[in-house]
Amino acid sequence: MYANLLLLHKITVSLFLLFYLIRLIGLLGNISAIQSMFTKKPVRILVDMVISTIFLITGVWMLLNIPGSLIGTLLIIKIGLVFLSIPLAIIGFKKNKKGIAVVAVALVLGAYGLGEMNKKRPAVNESMVRTSVTANELFVASNCALCHGVEGKQPNTAIGAIDLTKSKISDDEISKRITNGKNNMPGYKKRLSEEQVKMLTEYVKSLRN
């Protein structure tokens, strides 16, 4: 279910941003063909209601299922920018206010950028990561336990976490996922050393039944 929602969210986000950029080009360039297209009721309903609603609902659903300790400042700012951009965009495009429309699109682009930054900077317990001696300590310090469960067998499937006790992926794939991330899981390349990644890889393997 999560994979389908994530895909739907990504599609609607892309369409949301694409339509806003096209509308902005039409508004700034006084291109009547583009402007008239977005005044048609079917197109307006699709863009301003259907896509926006799906985008927000899927985003809020995923947000509600993220452990509270993983919700950082960047994510909060991103959400604020998105919610602020929508009413500004509606006002800007409906009333042909170029300045407001530019700000609205800039906010959406900024939210997207913050989202990408947040993926690349996973939340970790910095002091605990530095002092972790055992792989189990590192597993907890890196917040792996929050999503996969203390022993890897109680995953938060709502955000796409897998049951590590039943996982059959290769050592190389485990290491790659820890390093680079996958789907909703962030990469730890810049937060963990190569040796720590190896420790976690071996620990994840040891959790299998």
| pTM of the predicted model as reported, rounded to 2 decimal places | 0.62
Contacts of 77 (CB under 8 A, 6+ apart): 114
Mind listing the pLDDT tens digit for each residue in 90-131?
Answer: 889 888 899 999 999 999 888 877 776 666 566 666 666 777
Domain boundary among 120, 150, 182: 120
Mean pLDDT of 189-209: 87
Q: CA 134 to CA 152: how far, in whole Å?
A: 16
Q: What is the DSSP string of the chain?
A: -HHHHHHHHHHHHHHHHHHHHHHHHHHHTT-HHHHHHTTSHHHHHIIIIIIHHHHHHHHHHHHHTS-GGG--HHHHHHHHHHHHHHHHHHHHHHTT-HHHHHHHHHHHHHHHHHHHHHHHS----HHHHHH--SHHHHHHHTTHHHHH-TTS-S--GGGT---TTT----HHHHHHHHHH-BTTBPP-TTTS-HHHHHHHHHHHHHT--
Mind listing the pLDDT tens digit for each residue in 66-86?
Answer: 766 566 677 788 888 888 888
Domain count, the chain: 2
Residue 60 has pLDDT above 90, yes or no: no
Q: Give the distance from CA 129 to its chain's centroid.
A: 24
Mind listing the pLDDT tens digit for each residue in 9-34?
Answer: 888 888 888 988 999 999 999 898 98
Q: Are residues 103 and 187 both part of a single domain?
A: no
* Cα angle 166-2-129, degrees, rounded to a multiple of 5: 60
- Which CATH number does the domain housing residue 188 bear? 1.10.760.10
Q: Are residues 15 and 110 both part of a single domain?
A: yes
Domain boundary among 75, 104, 120: 120
Side-chain-facing half-sphere of 116: CA atoms under 13 Å = 6
Domain boundary among 101, 120, 139: 120
Q: Are residues 93 and 12 both part of a single domain?
A: yes
Q: Are residues 6 and 39 both part of a single domain?
A: yes
Contact 196/129 with Cβ under 8 angstroms? yes
Mind listing the pLDDT tens digit for each residue in 156-184?
Answer: 877 778 889 888 889 899 999 998 888 77
Count of positions (residues) in the chain: 209
Q: Are residues 59 and 132 both part of a single domain?
A: no
Q: What is the pLDDT of residue 22?
A: 92
Q: What is the pLDDT of residue 120?
A: 58
What's the first-to-final CA gap in the chain, in angstroms?
Answer: 25
Domain span holding position 201:
126-206
